[in-house]
Structure 1
Amino acid sequence: MTEFVLVAGMFTGAHVWEETAAHLVSAGAGVHTVNLAGLDGRPGDAVGLETHIEDVLAVIDSVGAGPGADGGIVLVAHGYGTYPVLGAADRRAERIGRIVCVDTGPGQDGVPALANVPDPALREELVARAGAEGAGGDLDPPARDAWQRWGSTAGIPEAALDRLTGLASPQPLGTLLQPLRLTGAVGALPVTGVLCDANGSSIAMVQQRVDFGDPALVPLAGPLVSFFDLPTGHWPMLSLPAELADVLLRAAAGEGHHLVPPGSAEPPTHLRPFVLDVPQLPSERHGNVDLCLPDADGPRPAVVFVHGGPVPAGVEPTPRDWPLLQGYARYAASEGAVGVTLDHRLHDMAGYPRAAADVAAAVELVRADPRVDPDRIALWFFSGGGLLAAHWLREPPAWLRCLAASYPVLVPLPAWGPVDARFRPEEAVAGAGTLPLVITRVGREMPGIAATVEEFLTAATKYGADAEVIDVPNGRHTFDALDRTEESREAVRRAMRSVLGHLTG
């Protein structure tokens, strides 16, 4: 019998696990929930991370000897709970068979849980409060309509959200400010991550960061680490309790998806070839901007392709040299337009203002080129670059003849934390007027991203925007590199025909 120890996240207690625990018990597992000090009715004064580590240790030590307890306890943590779980597992590594982290990143030695708070302004506020009041205070739990600040509430039934709010407790500040201290013993234990993609995280997104060589995430491609995706928000124990129980049982059995380490035989997604075979045409480099030139006389319309992200600084090759973007630029040039790729500085979630300035500067460079008709420009955004469309939607200039977006993010995802309020296309579309919009939507999209597209299209309809949707029913995110099917090729052709038609019509 596998023994599970379940540890809840911020503001919550053992009650959030009730349905998932019932499913585990019915499957024959042993289940033990941890009541963390300050979150279970006990006073929270002077409670720190170390207190919560001791709470988890007490439960581990209470699990009697047996097949599941003899080195095989599965520690399950949600959100903040990862920190006391890692601290306890480091001290009882011989008792632990696996750690499961539900919709949270791994903690690191010397780093407090505050680092995982998604809102940078809130992080600064808490540090300032601790400096003024000490670490003995509390952080008030969210109001019913404010849980979204801490993670997506997608899928939580209304009654469950009411109960979550009614039973929520203040979080002792010391638990967020005290650094996690590890000896390294926990590093030898198997770990499974359960990613909730409606909250903005998925196996594909983590794999992409590993492919980019992100030093913080490359270790996740090791043999001891596995992953599962769940199509829900940040609280799967409330929104998909049976499905979460199934994932926990599978994780305990050693199942799960393993990431591909950098340098494997198969190229990563961003280096796979464009779905269409397009001719090689002359290209010129101007700073961070490349122009792919058509074999045509006179000033020509231009299509500026804006890559997604975030892409860590220092990634080589840079996005403008990725086969996908080069393929789109050459395709546009083969049809008589100037194809433009550029590198912009969307390296993290704070980078949208920098990236927007880079895109605006690139557009001005392109419009100033004598081979370009400055009054016939289209902008085409991809993936996380979709938020950059907001500037051009809000007050479209007369020379902008079309705005396109492929598998875009059009509302900031919850796991990203706050993004500058200027970058909300679903609000900016109110000003789009008659600007033609061409949205390529994939049927196998990550639920969190798909929801942003639907929210945008609802707003576009409300404000009477001219939006054409090109559906790729079997397409995945980055289908134009991943899915080499006729459906994919035709979707790209349709989108390009539409964009060029608005430039030349």
Structure 2
Amino acid sequence: MTVFILVSGVFTGPHVWDDTASRLTAAGAEVRAVALSGLGGGHPADGGDIDLETHIADVLRVVDRTVGPDGREVVLVGHDYGIHPVLGAADRRAGSVARVVYLDSGLPQDGVPALAAVADQGMREEVLRLAGGGAHGAGAALPPPARDAWHLWGSTAGIPDAALDRLTALASPQPLGTLLLPLELTGAAASVPMAGVLCTGGGASIAMVQARVDFGEPALQALTDPRVTFFELPTGHWPMLSDPDALAVTLLRAAAGKGHRLTPAGAVRPEPFLLDVPELPRERTGTIDLYLPPSAGGPRPALLFVHGGPVPPDARPTPRDWPVLTGYARYAADHGVVGVTLDHRLHAVTDYAVAADDLADAVERVRADPRVDADRVALWFFSGAGPLTADWLGKPPPWLRCLAADYPVMAPLPSWGRLADRFQPVDAVAHAGSLPLVLVRAGLESDGIAATVERFLGAARACGAAVEVIDVPNGHHSFETVDRTDESREAVHRAMGAVLRHLTA
């Protein structure tokens, strides 16, 4: 028999698991929902301050009461912040735990506090302010969010109004020590099989985790272990409230070792660009590569391709050498336009300002090249580079002839927290005027990213912006790489044709 030990996230207690627990029990499993101290479980027995170690001890007590000689398999499930005490307990009882399930959570590391996983910069600053200089915020707590502010902690997609009301009414202040005390791990938990459940309403997906593995992020390479599996749920950050049936089925499958397995970095050779383009030479200067038209002539228009992200700083190859970007740049050069790829420093969602500066510098250097017509330039953004479009939408320079975006993120994802007003394309498009916009939309996009695109298009329609939408109905995010179909090829031709028309008119 499987025994699920369920640990909830910030501000919440065992009540959030009620519907999921009843479904797991009906399927023949046992369930223990842990009441963490201060979050539905009172206070520690010794009367001391509540911190991460307190919560690890809470989980350990339940594990020790559950493990017995009857062969029951213990599966620890940590949602959101709850993965930190879960992982701490698994590290100390590795021999007693059959599997750890990361439910729409981060990947905690030794010596790192849970605060590092809080995406919203303003919320992190508020925690530090409340701590008042105390190393672990002894005795202090972060107030729970108001009903309309839960989205700052994750997507609320799918949560019924009554469930959101109850979540708000039963929420507890989060003791600061639980967020500030670093997690201490010996490494023993690495021997425990794990499963990751990603809620796509927040923008997460298995494909994105695989991409980060392929980038070579050291902390993620362990996720390619065959004992690690992944699942997706098409809902928001609280699936136990929005879709308890699907969550229960997923947890049962995870406990049985089922699910998607990732491919190790480098195991699959990158596919070439999906179109046949000539192998034109490039000129590399600093962080910029130029692909020049093969025929001589006067100054030519330029088309800059802006990679998405975040991309780890040690990723190899760097984005300007990715086949999809070099392919687009060569396509442009073959059609008489200077194709440009560049590397910018979008290494984390907190890096949009520095990435924007990198892009602005690259644009000016390209425009200063005597082989480039400085009055005819276009920008093409991909994926996570979407927020960078806001600078150019908000005040389009006269030389910007077109702005394009492929499967872009056009508003902050719930897992990102708040971005500065400067990086809000949904607001900036009202100032785009007559700037031609080309947006390539993947029909099989993740729910979270698709929602940002629809918000942007709604704002564009409201202000009369000139947006041409090119749909790829059966395409996924990064369709040029993952969907090597005639439909994808046609979409690339159509998008390039539209941009080149605006650029060369």
Q: Do they fold alike, i.e. is TM over 0.5?
A: yes
1:287 has 2:290 as partner:
no
Secondary structure of 2:375's partner? strand
Q: Does structure 2 conserve the Cα–Cα contact (< 8 Å) formed by 1:366 and 1:372?
A: yes
Q: Which amino acid letter does the alignment assign opposite residue 121 of structure 2? A: P
Q: Which amino acid letter does the alignment assign opposite residue 126 of structure 1? A: V
Give the alignment partner of residue 194 of structure 2, picking from 191, 194, 206. Answer: 191
Which residue of the partner structure matches residue 314 of structure 1?
314
Secondary structure of 1:273's partner? coil
Q: Does structure 1 conserve the Cα–Cα contact (< 8 Å) formed by 2:111 and 2:184?
A: yes
In 2, distance between residues paired with 1:322 and 1:428?
A: 29
Secondary structure of 2:423's partner? coil
Q: Which amino acid letter does the alignment assign opposite residue 167 of structure 1? A: L
Question: What TM-score do you get using the length of structure 2 for normalisation?
Answer: 0.95
Which residue of the partner structure matches residue 405 of structure 2?
405
Q: Residues 89 and 314 of structure 1: is their aligned pair in 2 closer, same or farther, counting only changes over 3 Å?
A: closer
Secondary structure of 2:223's partner? helix
Which residue of the partner structure matches residue 114 of structure 1?
115
Give the deviation of 1:356 after TM superposition. Answer: 1.0
Secondary structure of 1:459's partner? helix
1:233 has 2:233 as partner:
no
In 2, distance between residues paired with 1:486 and 1:36?
A: 54
Which residue of the partner structure matches residue 49 of structure 2?
46
Which residue of the partner structure matches residue 153 of structure 2?
150
Give the deviation of 1:64 after TM superposition. Answer: 6.2
In 2, distance between residues paired with 1:116 and 1:135?
A: 20
In the TM superposition, 1:4-403 aligns within 5 A as 4-40=4-40, 42-43=42-43, 46-63=49-66, 65=68, 67=70, 69=72, 72-132=73-133, 134-264=137-267, 266-267=268-269, 271-294=270-293, 295-403=295-403
Count of aligned residue pairs for this structure pair: 499
Q: Does structure 1 conserve the Cα–Cα contact (< 8 Å) formed by 2:345 and 2:351?
A: yes
In 1, distance between residues paired with 2:383 and 2:438?
A: 14
Identity %: 64
Q: Residues 41 and 319 of structure 1: is their aligned pair in 2 closer, same or farther, counting only changes over 3 Å?
A: closer
In 2, distance between residues paired with 1:221 and 1:238?
A: 30
- Structure 2: segments with no counterpart, 5+ residues: none
Moved more, 28-37 or 491-500: 28-37
Q: Does structure 2 conserve the Cα–Cα contact (< 8 Å) formed by 1:2 and 1:67?
A: no
Give the deviation of 1:465 after TM superposition. Answer: 0.4
Which ranges of 4 or more aligned residues in structure 1 deviate by more than 3 Å? Answer: 64-68, 131-134
Q: Residues 180 and 281 of structure 1: is their aligned pair in 2 closer, same or farther, counting only changes over 3 Å?
A: closer
Moved more, 94-103 or 174-183: 174-183
Q: Does structure 2 conserve the Cα–Cα contact (< 8 Å) formed by 1:3 and 1:68?
A: no
Q: Does structure 2 conserve the Cα–Cα contact (< 8 Å) formed by 1:4 and 1:75?
A: yes
Give the deviation of 1:123 after TM superposition. Answer: 2.4
Secondary structure of 1:248's partner? helix
In 1, distance between residues paired with 2:145 and 2:474?
A: 39
Moved more, 422-431 or 170-179: 170-179
In 2, distance between residues paired with 1:346 and 1:306?
A: 11
Give the deviation of 1:106 after TM superposition. Answer: 2.4
Which residue of the partner structure matches residue 499 of structure 1?
499
In 1, distance between residues paired with 2:450 and 2:465?
A: 19
Which residue of the partner structure matches residue 416 of structure 1?
416
Q: Does structure 2 conserve the Cα–Cα contact (< 8 Å) formed by 1:276 and 1:489?
A: yes
- Structure 1: segments with no counterpart, 5+ residues: none
In 1, distance between residues paired with 2:67 and 2:350?
A: 48
Q: Does structure 2 conserve the Cα–Cα contact (< 8 Å) formed by 1:2 and 1:68?
A: no
Secondary structure of 1:349's partner? coil
In 2, distance between residues paired with 1:66 and 1:337?
A: 72
In 2, distance between residues paired with 1:280 and 1:107?
A: 43
Give the deviation of 1:94 after TM superposition. Answer: 2.4
In 2, distance between residues paired with 1:131 and 1:312?
A: 33
Secondary structure of 1:422's partner? helix
In 2, distance between residues paired with 1:256 and 1:441?
A: 28
